[in-house]
Amino acid sequence: MDEKKPTILVTNDDGITAKGIASLVEIAKKFGNVVVVAPDKPQSGMGHAVSIHGILRVSESTIFGEDVKAFACSGTPADCVKFGISQVLKQKPDLVLSGINHGNNSATNILYSGTMSAAIEGAMEGVTSIGFSLLDYASDADFSGAMHFGSKIIQATLNDTHLPVGFCLNVNFPKCAIEEIKGVKYCRQAEAFWDDWFEHRKDPGGKDYYWLTGEFHNHDQGDDTDEFALAQNYVSVVPVQYDLTAYHTLKHIQQWEI
Amino acid sequence: MDEKKPTILVTNDDGITAKGIASLVEIAKKFGNVVVVAPDKPQSGMGHAVSIHGILRVSESTIFGEDVKAFACSGTPADCVKFGISQVLKQKPDLVLSGINHGNNSATNILYSGTMSAAIEGAMEGVTSIGFSLLDYASDADFSGAMHFGSKIIQATLNDTHLPVGFCLNVNFPKCAIEEIKGVKYCRQAEAFWDDWFEHRKDPGGKDYYWLTGEFHNHDQGDDTDEFALAQNYVSVVPVQYDLTAYHTLKHIQQWEI
């Protein structure tokens, strides 16, 4: 490996064989020495789950060719980042990249997202991290626009020598042709939520079961949100933090007398 | 059910048979009509995972007696909240309570926590929500102090008519006798992290496997954090938000030229 180039740990939540991670490895190779630790099966919707009650299996993979060391891991995306840093690299990489996810991780989707939880795990370990997602759930989605603008965002991140420790980005790409993408917008997370319900079905034995389903609704009228940017065919870039303290509410409850 | 009392949805991540949820149901019954939807097996460390690729099974349970409607659900804690609101209550409850967790969910543990993800899910659905955790992992832990101070916190929450929509608390109880608890502190989330590693073992067939393990380190010198409060035998109360936007960093990256 070229010692001068940055070390880049790549993971995702759709699994090591997904088109999205192949696209991300392809652009990451332009910027540094790439090591992949990715789930051996789809792990979408896993949030920030970690395997504290079960074992991990890890096997080396040649899926990205000879110049990319790669491992398939039985754990969650957050497990993959922990394993990559602690067991494979045995030191912190310069960058953690996660994705490119097949599907939307804008707004509150970030909380359910294995892709973004992997990026947040990287940030919690003090490594600059970016999660990438394309608003197309198809397994053969067109990642060309995502690769073009994703490269620019990786370059800008590596060029910036004044990033805070734990810097993390949630990047979403609109579902449109590359020439229709208008550019990049720096945004806040929209107040947009899933309105959930469950489909009630009977199995062949007559027993009840349920499928979670729902519709995503944007209640946020702001023009500074990720949802607004994506609806206008911009790439949305939201800087992310893992301090969940609601500081404005802290002042309010400090008046409680218990 | 008494129509005038608040409706309280209770869940946890240790499973419906855990001592911690029995303790929480016991105190919740003093404040309202309690409905339980909880995992049918332990779901610790599941973060904000949701079952988008698999079915849910749900069965009614009499574990909490005749006056508490209860359901065991095969899904994650976040699934339980979604199912409870959409399928069982068919309307939003007045309060979502999660726990009492057997183990610490202070500092960045909140991100991995099924207990707190259930509370955050409640908040995302616009319901005032509280997650409770005791710094004792034992299945027969002493919840008397947690129940005493937990009741006071539920009472203060129900009494406060000026809470913002999506109000959510992360409450942790120190591991000590009830008479040693000094009181309640309103805190921010500490910058404290897991230093992870993996134990490498061989199975009886000679194949490699790994156990995630680690040590929790508090790098935060502040006296206003949950870690500081708990170390002094105070109950820590951190108000929580699900907007992960790093607003301070947003200003910085808006200078990027892409």
Quote the ipTM score: 0.94
Per DSSP, what are the bridge partners of residue A97?
A10, A130
Residues of B in contact with A45 (CB under 8 A): 49-53
d(Cα A133, Cα A20) in Å, to the nearest integer? 9
Q: Label residue B146 exposed, middle or buried (CB < 10 Å: 0-12, 13-18, 19+).
A: buried
pLDDT of A197 > 70? The answer is yes
- For chain B, how big is the Rg over CA atoms in Å? 19
User: Domain-by-domain residue ranges, chain B?
Assistant: 7-191+222-253
- Sign of the CA dihedral B148, B150, B154, B160? positive
Query: CB contact, 8 Å: A110 with chain B?
Result: yes
Q: For every one of its 258 residues, what pLDDT tens digit does chain B have, with 9 covering 90 and above?
A: 556 899 999 999 999 999 999 999 999 999 999 999 999 999 888 888 888 888 999 999 999 999 999 999 999 999 999 999 999 999 999 999 999 999 999 999 999 999 999 999 999 999 999 999 999 999 999 999 999 999 999 999 999 999 999 999 999 999 999 999 999 999 999 999 999 999 999 999 999 999 999 999 999 999 999 999 999 999 999 999 999 999 999 999 999 988
A217-235 pLDDT, tens digit per residue, is: 999 999 999 999 999 999 9
For an interface test with B, the pick among A154, A173, A245, A252 (most B C-beta atoms closer than 10 Å) comes out as A245
pLDDT score at B3: 61
Rounded to 5 degrees, φ, ψ at B208 are: -70, 145
Query: CB contact, 8 Å: A213 with chain B?
Result: no
A164-190 pLDDT, tens digit per residue, is: 999 999 999 999 999 999 999 999 999
Residue A61 to residues A11, A33, A38, A87, Cα–Cα distance (Å): 13, 16, 10, 16
Please judge whether A46 and B45 are an interchain contact, meaning their C-beta atoms are less than 8 angstroms apart.
Answer: no
Query: CB contact, 8 Å: A38 with chain B?
Result: no
Q: Are A40 and A73 in contact (CB under 8 A)?
A: yes
Residues of B in contact with A125 (CB under 8 A): 193
pLDDT band at A2 (very low <50, low <70, confident <90, very high): low
Q: Which residue in chain A is spatially nearest to B80 when comparing CA positions?
A: A212
A99-124 pLDDT, tens digit per residue, is: 999 999 999 999 999 999 999 999 99
In sequence order, what are the residues at sequence separation of 6 or more whose Cβ sits closer than 8 angstroms to the Cβ of residue B166? B123, B124, B126, B241, B242
Per DSSP, what are the bridge partners of residue A42?
none
Residues of A in contact with B49 (CB under 8 A): 45-47, 49, 112
Please judge whether A250 and B239 are an interchain contact, meaning their C-beta atoms are less than 8 angstroms apart.
Answer: yes
B161-173 pLDDT, tens digit per residue, is: 999 999 999 999 9
Q: Which of B168, B186, B253 sits opposite A239 (nearest CB)?
A: B253
Q: Which CATH number does A7-191+222-253 carry?
A: 3.40.1210.10
Q: CA of A246 to nearest chain B CA: how many angstroms apart?
A: 5
Q: Which residue in chain B is spatially nearest to A193 when comparing CA positions?
A: B124
d(Cα B34, Cα B247) in Å, to the nearest integer? 38
What is the residue-averaged pLDDT of chain A?
96
Nearest CA to B59 out of B30, B32, B88, B34 is that of: B88
Query: CB contact, 8 Å: B192 with chain A?
Result: no
Q: Are B143 and B171 in contact (CB under 8 A)?
A: no
Please judge whether B212 and A45 are an interchain contact, meaning their C-beta atoms are less than 8 angstroms apart.
Answer: no
What's the CA angle centered on B148, arms B117 and B131, to 5 degrees?
5
pLDDT of A4 > 90? The answer is no
Q: Are B44 and B14 in contact (CB under 8 A)?
A: yes
